[in-house]
């Protein structure tokens, strides 16, 4: 069960990286990476379709992973996106609490979080 959860987390992470940086890959890299990550094709299926070895497909996918992770290490766009999403969600909660009569302190906290988003 834990292995399945870890695989799911890995797929989500790969998807996020691809969403942000996928256009920086070559067309061939994008095609094969999408087949593995999003279309869930086996390495053997892709190898047959592309006329390369299974090992070649495996190496290309790992290389794409390293490239995408390298972009994230340098640019931190996914990290900033996730923080922004987290802060925005918390602001919504605080504003809901404010509307329910829980005071001006909630509004102040929402403003502080909004300021953090601007700083990201």
Q: Rounded to an integer, what distance in angstroms lies between the CA atom of residue 33 and that of residue 84?
A: 27
Number of neighbouring beta carbons within 10 Å of residue 46: 22
Residue of 33, 13, 9, 11 lying closest to 22 (CA atoms): 33
Angle at 64 between CA 62 and CA 66, to 5 degrees: 70
Q: Rounded to an integer, what distance in angstroms lies between the CA atom of residue 79 and that of residue 102?
A: 31
Q: Rounded to an integer, what distance in angstroms lies between the CA atom of residue 84 and that of residue 78?
A: 10
Number of neighbouring beta carbons within 10 Å of residue 58: 14
Percent of the chain with pLDDT over 90: 62
52 has pLDDT over 90:
yes
What is residue 112's predicted lDDT score, i.e. its pLDDT?
85
pLDDT in tens, 95-109: 888 777 777 777 788
Average pLDDT score over the chain: 90
């Amino acid at each position: 069960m834990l292995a399945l959860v870890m695989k799911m987390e890995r797929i989500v992470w790969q998807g996020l990286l691809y969403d942000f940086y996928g256009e920086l890959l070559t067309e061939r890299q994008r095609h094969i990476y999408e087949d593995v990550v999003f279309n869930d094709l086996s390495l053997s299926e892709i190898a047959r379709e592309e006329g390369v070895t299974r090992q070649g497909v495996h190496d290309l996918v790992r290389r794409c992973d390293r490239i995408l992770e390298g972009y994230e290490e340098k640019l931190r766009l996914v990290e900033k996106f996730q923080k922004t999403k987290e802060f925005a969600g918390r602001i919504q909660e605080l504003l809901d609490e404010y509307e329910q009569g829980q005071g001006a302190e909630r509004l102040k906290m929402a403003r502080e979080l909004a300021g953090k988003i601007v700083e990201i």
